[in-house]
Amino acid sequence: MGLFPTTTKKVSIALLGVMALLLPFSALPLFGFLGDAGWMVMINRALIYAIAALGLNLLVGVAGQISLGHAFFMAVGAYTAVVLGGEAGRTVWGLGLPIWIWLPAAGVVAALVGILIAPTAVRVRGLYLAFVTLGLVFIGLFLWRNLGKVAGGPTTGRPWPKLEFALWRGMDPIVSFATDGPLWWWLTPINWLPWVHIEEMSRHAKTYFFVLVFVIVFALIAKNVMRTRVGRSWAAIRDRDIAAEVMGVAEAKGKTQAFAISSFYAGVAGAILASVVGRMIPESWNLFLSIEFVVIILIGGAGTIAGVFMGTFFVVLTPRLVEDATHWLATQVSEDGSFAWLGNLFIRSSPDDFIGIVSLEAAGPGLSIYQLNVVLFGVLIIVFLIVEPLGIYGIWIKVRNYWKGWPFTY
């Protein structure tokens, strides 16, 4: 029941902590490219998604309640943040409050909405619960398109408050995570290692550390909730809800608690995501966003904290890796490289080609890179559900157990 019960886990967490500190400074051996701006944007998005996925994991993986409405609760948190923290305009509302008010409020309001919806959701289970939460996404899209005072224009949206910490509105920020420069006056220059010398931090690096703190805090909270009486009651409801209720578990109360905590996570993640992006249109909080988090849980490993992180980084970074690999194969074909044969099998370069999966220039019936990623995620969901229900975490467990028992692996 310990957080890190073995020496191996303690050492692994320590190494991950060191890697996390070095990553934004391009100081990781062999992986220094991850500190570049393009990769930092993807990693920051993955960390934000991890916060929302941790909440959905508590609801789906621990409590066993199927939900397709996570994007709705993220939108509730985001629009709470923009109303409280955004600037008022001629057509939009805004109070201009500092981040220490609007960010917690985003989670609290989303949790309250989750509590209001929970009595309806706890009356159904399985496929019917999925349909109830699915309806929330479409209701939300209708609301955000028509609440112009809150969401802004249907095609333009509105700007969100920046990640800046100030004591009150109108005051100069004490710490700004949205601009290049020193995080605090005493933190630069950075000379921690002989090969690391940084005069100032980029805004992507600042955002990374800001979100990383939230990820660590929320992961510890989620792990400890799973170990408490409440978390164990959720697991009992997940495994056999009728038997759990007969044994004295308050089923309605447990499901309501799961919805509230999951919604709180989603609200905070939605507020941070919108603030980092800067401007989002109402259509951004759509069904595909909700499905992305379901994919994260299924591919990573439902009911596990480590699986959430594995699934999040896999789902967020895989499209970038697929895009880079596809363009590299296209370069091999154009330059007649060593792997040109593989590129010819994979890429459709003209409408007359009979083979090829991806079409980079809309040549023939091939898939675009975006469509390829969607198909890839669909195939992976099917494969993991059939072959390895615990996802990537389950594969890791099998590999770990194999080497723990070696040479007597049978």
pLDDT digits (tens, 9 = 90+) for 256-268: 999 999 999 999 9
Give the largest Cα separation in the chain, rounded.
Answer: 73
Of 275, 289, 279, 285, the residue nearest 142 (C-alpha): 285
CB 308 within 8 A of CB 296: yes
Mean pLDDT of 199-205: 82
H or E segment and range at residue 159: strand 158-159
Q: Which two tokens stand for residue 58?
A: 């508590």
C-alpha closest to that of 48 among 160, 198, 187, 167: 160
DSSP-assigned letter for residue 64: -
Distances (CA, A) of 339 to 16, 358, 397: 35, 16, 34
The per-residue pLDDT for 97 is: 92
Domain boundaries, the chain: 37-303, 304-410
Give the whole-angstrom CA distance, residue 388 versus residue 270: 30
Poorest-pLDDT segment among 77-81, 234-238, 362-366: 362-366
pLDDT reported for residue 76: 96
Mean pLDDT in residue range 51-79 = 94
Q: How many CB atoms lie within 10 A of CB 51?
A: 27
Please report the DSSP string for 308-359 in residue order. HHHHHHHHHHHHHHHHHHHHHHHHHHHTT-TTHHHHHHHB--STT-SS-SB-
Which tens digits make up the pLDDT trace of 84-105?
A: 999 888 888 989 899 999 999 9
pTM over 0.85: yes
The enclosing H or E element of 280 equals strand 279-280
Average pLDDT over residues 275-294: 92
- At 184, the pLDDT band (50, 70, 90 cuts) reads low
